[in-house]
Structure 1
């Protein structure tokens, strides 16, 4: 009997996730090549290295470790942030957390159509023609694509999840290959034209002006989302010791890729020249131009950019469908949230899709697509949507930090295998710190220099989304009073 028990324990131990496996799982979830190009474009080239390091050390590491503690405390909770809020506060706040997670995807959904068409244009080597189109034609095409994929989502066609995973994995591999191949390029092709890197103090330290602080939301947006790995905390071998080790490894891996990716781009592009319209063009096209130049260095023409464009086209469009369907299901499938949303939104068709919820997405995301008609061209529209996403998407992280603060205030109530720090006051400080950094960066990110209209739009969008979330429970309350029933 003792032998059998020992064998069972060994089997259970062998099924545990190693700390380095956790780090790689989280890395592929959190990081992408677009984060490198966005940072390079918004922070004038290699100057972003200083900001990346600061964000990783002061924000990302405590953020990831707090997520680990939340996952350890609520190991059986399947709803992520919503479940954490429900356990530590009350059902109404849990609804708001779930609603926030859904509604911040509205601008993201609007951007996926534009991003997919941009990728398709590069894949077919017709980007110059695409960029020359007037904004109304671009947004008309974006609207048609958006409506088509809303229809796809309404038909319950979700085998695209596997396609999204495959495309995301290939994009991740290409991001790593880009860094390795670009570092090797001067050795393989020394006669090619490279931009000399300036490692002087003045070239690396950014100017701490209005432009700098209003762009920090781009970096916060880039490093967010590690709460997706929380279900794996208790599957790690010796989580108290190995989970923080895995998260530190994750931070180091991401930081190294951000720094080396920035250096690789710095060998191709001069950060001093990425200003004004050139900045908008780089934000929209920089990743593709980087792979195009890499192909020139290796004498393979447009092979790399075609492959990257194909991967991104598949990834953008499949992510569009999943972003329409998955966050909506997470909200409306939740038994707690269903009590606070209007009954019309709970209607499902024979495919199980929430048809009225999808119609609401059509109205909200469609309005954003329509407003983008005011953009100058394709690059300008994508840059605008990138900024809007950096304002809206991090709002969901606020609930992570709020849940952590509440967990530490009720620390004795929730036993857990792993704790970020032992001292409750220190833990609450980190929670408040990350909450404040996220909120301040989101507010500052609303500012669009020299464009009051966009500043107002960036500020109004989150307010409208919040207002809708406040109105929904009141509508549902009146419906229940009228019908004398509850869901």
Structure 2
């Protein structure tokens, strides 16, 4: 029985589902349509061509070459460049996922509320006599982190089961989007809810996204929609026949995700008239009695509610029944998003930590961090990670306005830190390709000029997105956010360098 546990590996299908769950965000489809309409397709495809697909192929090549390495992107950058460079990039990347866990730990209850009630009621929830919705969500988030950490510590098999459910749920809602949109289109005799014109694919119906500066901010949004692929870098050694399946899984996932986004956005137009649904106080709000202001947080639920409503009308059901169909579809959207976020959480609470603990020099960390339990999990490090996340959640939930402001600062600090490591990894690909001593069993970039062009293209795309992320708040009058966006990467870099310099001194003393 023990031997079976040791040899349990991720199959190609399970790996693809794990990548899909970690990267593909269904909410990015209705959000993109809300911000830019059909024009978002161009920018999503551009982001896929200039960043996501070439970056995935780089990860595929390095993942296949370093198939036995347990440290994921750290191991790759260490070999291709040097250990200090690798640690700074990996530490910055890891820190951003700590804040991601705080954000999602609090936000995951909104889709659950939609699943139960058909609307977001989290602000009115109360447990243990707490009257403040923010504090209630904080308590729920703390319990959530404890449960997720406990279940994940029981091994990869548990994670595979959860991510498979999450991946299947989000796959099904995409199928519903495609088939539902197609059915509505047929029932409406081929008439698109949002008219198709040439300028519609280049000009946003949203008046807030018409200037070049506003459009550039959407490019940043499109690149962020493809984030998270490097997380699975730490799972190369957990993948069955990794030298073949890992790059194949990355390649298949990258193409499916890019195409899925483009088709999904187009299908939104089959049942969504932008003015009718997204103009606050517009036709949809009046027809359904909804007074909710459309935001990036609730737009996905409003969009799917409208899909059910339009399907009911296309089937000539009564107005009341059509509204109920919309509510139930919104509920299904809620449970699907809850399951998908749960699947992503199980992957992200383990994989980044595994990458940074197992891949970096052991002397950087307390000895107890490297200790594994019977399920081959670094349980002590997972407990410390959980404690850090819980402390931040508790401080934000119970610390009043100053704590909320502190969290806004933390979020601003990690916005750039989350994507800068893409540039670190892309730059490391230069060294990887130049080093002939590295065996490369999987090669997509065969010509020297081609791989250099692709690396420069990825670095420019991500660099542009980050520069614009930094300067946009200042342009909008929020100079403090710009300052904190710069301070974040600088702070994480200093912390990483201090840790690494201490490690180097410690090794020299021996």
- Structure 1-normalised TM-score? 0.76
1:414-425 pair list within 5 angstroms: 414-425=438-449
Instruction: Name the Cα RMSD after superposition.
Output: 4.4
Q: Tell me how far apart the structure 2 counterparts of residues 370 and 406 of structure 1 sit (CA, whole Å).
A: 47
Number of the residue aligned with 1:435: 459
8 Å CA contact retained: 2:115, 2:332: yes
Evaluate the alpha carbon distance shift between residue 148 and residue 477 of structure 1 in structure 2; reply closer, same or farther with a 3 A threshold: farther
* Cα distance, 1:114–1:91 mapped onto 2, change above 3 Å: same
CA distance in 1, matches of 2:402, 2:201: 35
Alpha carbons 1:30, 1:223 under 8 Å: kept: yes
Moved more, 387-396 or 288-297: 387-396
Contact kept? 1:224, 1:397, Cα under 8 Å: no
1:172 positional shift: 1.9
Aligned to 1:13: none
Cα deviation digits, residues 156-190 of structure 1 (max 9, x gap): 35635522331232112211321221122132367
Instruction: Return 210-219 or 462-471, whichever deviates more.
Output: 462-471
Unaligned runs of 5+ in 1: 1-15
Task: For 1:23 and 1:438, locate their aligned partners in 2 and report how far apart those are by CA, in whole Å.
Answer: 24
Shift of 1:127: 3.0
* Alpha-carbon distance in 2 for matches of 1:438, 1:87: 23
Q: Distance in 1 between matches of 2:397 and 2:48?
A: 33
Instruction: Report the 3-state secondary structure (helix = DSSP H, G, I; strand = E; otherwise coil) of the residue aligned with 1:141.
Output: helix
SS of residue matched to 1:186? helix
In 2, Cα distance between equivalents of 1:333 and 1:258 = 34
- 2:51 aligned residue (59, 70, 82): 59
Is residue 451 of structure 1 aligned with residue 478 of structure 2?
A: yes
Q: Which residue of 1 aligns with 2:3?
A: none
Residues 347 and 356 of structure 1 are in contact (CA less than 8 Å); yes or no, is this contact kept in structure 2?
no
- Whether 1:33 aligns to 2:26 is yes
Residue-by-residue CA offset, 1:189-246 (whole Å, 9 max, x unaligned): 679x973324232663464611222332221122234443766773259x8xxx59x9
Residues 274 and 345 (structure 1), Cα distance of their counterparts in 2 relative to 1, 3 Å cut: farther
Would you say 1:89 and 2:106 are equivalent positions? no
Q: Within 2, Cα distance between the matches of 1:131 and 1:194?
A: 36
Match of 2:108 in 1: 116
- Following superposition of structure 1 onto structure 2, how do residues 214-363 of structure 1 map, counting pairs within 5 Å? 214-227=217-230, 228=232, 234-235=243-244, 247=251, 253-266=256-269, 267-270=271-274, 281-296=294-309, 297-298=311-312, 299=322, 300-317=325-342, 319-320=344-345, 322-334=347-359, 336-341=360-365, 352-354=379-381, 355-363=383-391
Report the alpha carbon displacement of residue 327 of structure 1 after superposing the two structures with TM. Answer: 2.4
Distance 1:198 1:49 in 2: 13
Displacement of 1:139 in angstroms is 3.2
Q: For residue 466 of structure 1, what is the aligned residue in structure 2?
A: 493
Match of 1:212 among 198, 209, 215: 215
* Residue equivalent to 1:11: none
Following the alignment from structure 1 to structure 2, what is the Cα–Cα distance between the partners of residues 58 and 51?
10
The alignment of Structure 1 onto Structure 2 pairs a total of residues equal to 451
DSSP 3-state at the match of 2:102: helix
Return the TM-score normalized by structure 2. 0.73
Unaligned runs of 5+ in 2: 1-10, 205-209, 282-290, 313-321
Q: Distance in 1 between matches of 2:19 and 2:357?
A: 27
- In the alignment, the residues of structure 2 paired with residue 462 and residue 274 of structure 1 have an alpha-carbon distance, to the nearest angstrom, of 36
1:318-367 per-residue CA deviation (whole Å, 9 max, x = no partner) reads 64465344422332234x34322356866889993323343333445666
Aligned-pair CA distance for 1:480: 7.6
The equivalent of 1:166 in structure 2 is 165
Change (3 A) 1:150 1:421: closer
**Is 2:416 the counterpart of 1:391?**
yes
Tell me by how many angstroms 1:84 deviates. 0.9
CA contact (8 A) 1:342 1:479 kept: no
Aligned counterpart, 2:197: 199
Structure 2: how far apart are the matches of 1:465 and 1:276?
Answer: 40
